[in-house]
Amino acid sequence: MSTIVTTAPLRLRPVEEQSATVSRRKRGLIYVRVSKARDDMISPELQVGHALTLARSENIDVIADPIMDLGESGRGFEERRIEEIKQMARDKQFDVLILWIWSRFGRNLRESLQHLDTLMDYGVEVRAAKEDFDGKTTIGRFAIAQMLNIAELESNQKADSWRDIFERRRNKGLPHSNRGRFGYYRCESCPKWEFGKKLDTCPKCRNGILKIDPVTGPVLAQLHHDYAAGISVRRLLVGLNRRGIKTFTGKPFTSGDLHAVLDSGFGLGHVRYLIPELSHQVVTNDDGSTKKKRVNRQRDVTAFLYYGGAHDAVIDDPTECERIWDAYTKRRMAQSGQSFFSNRPRYSLSRHLRCSGCGGRMQTALRNKKYRRPLIDDLPNPLDVTFRRANHLDSKSCPANGTYVSLAVAEKWFLEWLDHEAQTSEQDAEAIATRMAALKTQSADDQALLTRHERALKPFSLGS
């Protein structure tokens, strides 16, 4: 009995396609990350220089300016431009991603490997100029994982060192940082603190204990007294800004600045530290995996532990300090229990109106309950809603002396503007109608094509 052997035909790409693929040079994209951005940093130029050297030696064409994440930590990926790089990889805009060293990509082993796998799935090769391994080989993948693991180890060791530093400062009654605070200063001979520059100290203030400022210290004491007595925040702010009193950084006071000063409790002799369990939250990804994400939202007094500080309070009597602090926290907790903030706009023109005098965003205010009209669709009557420049109430800084307009008047003006914008010629109207019809046809075709694909894939999905 004879056996018939069949061979599959050999399928080759056309010669011209092979030559085009072989002759095309690889396209490169440089990625730079610096944990802390500052004016005198040289790390970005160093990283770009080494990456360009690798590109020249490997005949890689750099297609665009380097993508830079300045001032971004390597432990997280949400605030960085990694998603932009992945989108470029999906669009086949480059072939090689060039780093300086592997720690520049990330200091989180698990997430770094996930993003690297995604890039490699799109056909992108990832190279590090100073730690160059071939990620397509088994040994190369192992070496890359080890370098990322070392980067994560270094980051964790630095975090442990900072935790030890903060614990030592807490045990000494010192605040989290010692740059200075409103109502206090370090000493007469120390240079003034400047944003973004290293804090210099002299032998007189090496102990880190701040001293009461003779000018702003009494102001801070009066603020604590007035707030505990029930005086409104607006009245306190107007008084501060009319007298020309600035924050520690030299800016006019806002309500957020005032609460930040008083919430710290520093003027009453306290130092505060964030409760560790509230610094991060666990986030579940779409694929079911979890990760820890730092919580950067504004926190109230319940998110901190308050300790006795080594510095002097701006009020001499410790009993009076405790009384004022209890009154302050009681009032703050009553306010934080009210739901002021929401990401959803409440009114038709929320977030759209700007002050004609200073260009600032307008906020809303409601008429007194005693004089409000009946609700319309469970919302206040537009005549009872007023848009105004809230910051002008605090600092009186608007050149037009503040702008006020009711929602009813603003909606009327907005509709008139829409009518004016909608007036087009017949030719423009026909062009718009033609374009809309073409888009609807294209959308219908795309939907039909998607339906056919879903039907074709349905047996496979059931079998899996």
Closest alpha carbon to 96 in 131, 61, 143, 50: 61
Q: What is the C-alpha separation between 415 and 411, in angstroms, rounded?
A: 6
Q: Minimum mean pLDDT among 88-92, 263-267, 343-347, 384-388: which range?
A: 343-347
- Residue 127 bridge partners (DSSP): 98
The answer to whether residue 240 scores a pLDDT higher than 60 is yes
User: How confident is the model at residue 2, as a pLDDT?
Assistant: 53
Q: For a pLDDT cut of 70, what percent of the chain falls above it?
A: 74
The pLDDT tens digits for 283-326 are 776 666 666 676 665 567 878 889 989 889 999 999 999 999 99
Q: What is the C-alpha separation between 181 and 194, in angstroms, rounded?
A: 13
Higher pLDDT, 27 or 349: 27
The answer to whether residue 36 scores a pLDDT higher than 80 is no
User: How confident is the model at residue 27, as a pLDDT?
Assistant: 92
Q: What is the C-alpha separation between 316 and 293, in angstroms, rounded?
A: 42
What's the one-letter identity of residue 239? Answer: G
Please report which confidence band the pLDDT of residue 461 belongs to, taking 50, 70 and 90 as the band edges.
very low
Is residue 96 within 8 A of residue 26, CB to CB? The reply is yes
Q: What is the C-alpha separation between 393 and 388, in angstroms, rounded?
A: 9
Q: What is the C-alpha separation between 91 and 317, in angstroms, rounded?
A: 68
**SS3 state at 13:** coil
User: How confident is the model at residue 458, as a pLDDT?
Assistant: 42
Average pLDDT, the chain: 78
Per-residue pLDDT, averaged over 374-378, amounts to 80
Rg (CA), the chain: 31
User: How confident is the model at residue 268, as a pLDDT?
Assistant: 92
Q: Minimum mean pLDDT among 228-232, 305-309, 441-445: which range?
A: 441-445
CA angle 61–65–68, rounded 5-degree value:
125
Is residue 100 within 8 A of residue 126, CB to CB? The reply is no
Q: What is the C-alpha separation between 304 and 298, in angstroms, rounded?
A: 12
Q: Which helix (H) or strand (E) holds 243?
A: none
Please report which confidence band the pLDDT of residue 463 belongs to, taking 50, 70 and 90 as the band edges.
very low
Of the ranges 215-224, 426-435, 438-447, the best mean pLDDT one: 215-224
**SS3 state at 169:** helix
Q: Minimum mean pLDDT among 54-63, 327-336, 445-454: which range?
A: 445-454
| Bridge-based pairing state of the strands 26-34 and 67-70 | parallel
The answer to whether residue 185 scores a pLDDT higher than 60 is yes
| Contacts (Cβ under 8 Å, ≥6 apart) of 335 | none
**SS3 state at 248:** coil
Please report which confidence band the pLDDT of residue 459 belongs to, taking 50, 70 and 90 as the band edges.
very low
Please report which confidence band the pLDDT of residue 340 belongs to, taking 50, 70 and 90 as the band edges.
very low
Cα→Cα distances 67→34, 111, 193, 237, 350, Å: 12, 19, 32, 42, 35
The answer to whether residue 196 scores a pLDDT higher than 60 is no
* Structure tokens belonging to residue 152: 């994560």
Give 257-323 as a 3 state SS string.
HHHHHHHCCHHHCEEEEECHHHCEEEEECCCCCEEEEECCCCCCHHHEEEEECCCCCCCCCHHHHHH
Higher pLDDT, 8 or 126: 126
Q: What is the C-alpha separation between 136 and 224, in angstroms, rounded?
A: 64
Cα→Cα distances 330→87, 299, 317, 459, Å: 49, 16, 20, 64
User: How confident is the model at residue 320, as a pLDDT?
Assistant: 92
Q: Minimum mean pLDDT among 248-252, 376-380, 409-413: which range?
A: 376-380
Q: Is the whole-model pTM more than 0.75?
A: no
* Structure tokens belonging to residue 115: 């993003």
The answer to whether residue 372 scores a pLDDT higher than 50 is yes
* Structure tokens belonging to residue 141: 């993948």
Q: What is the C-alpha separation between 411 and 382, in angstroms, rounded?
A: 9
Please report which confidence band the pLDDT of residue 28 belongs to, taking 50, 70 and 90 as the band edges.
very high
Give, rounded to a whole angstrom, the gap between the first and last alpha carbons of the chain. Answer: 40
Please report which confidence band the pLDDT of residue 40 belongs to, taking 50, 70 and 90 as the band edges.
low
Please report which confidence band the pLDDT of residue 341 belongs to, taking 50, 70 and 90 as the band edges.
very low
Closest alpha carbon to 451 in 439, 443, 462, 440: 443
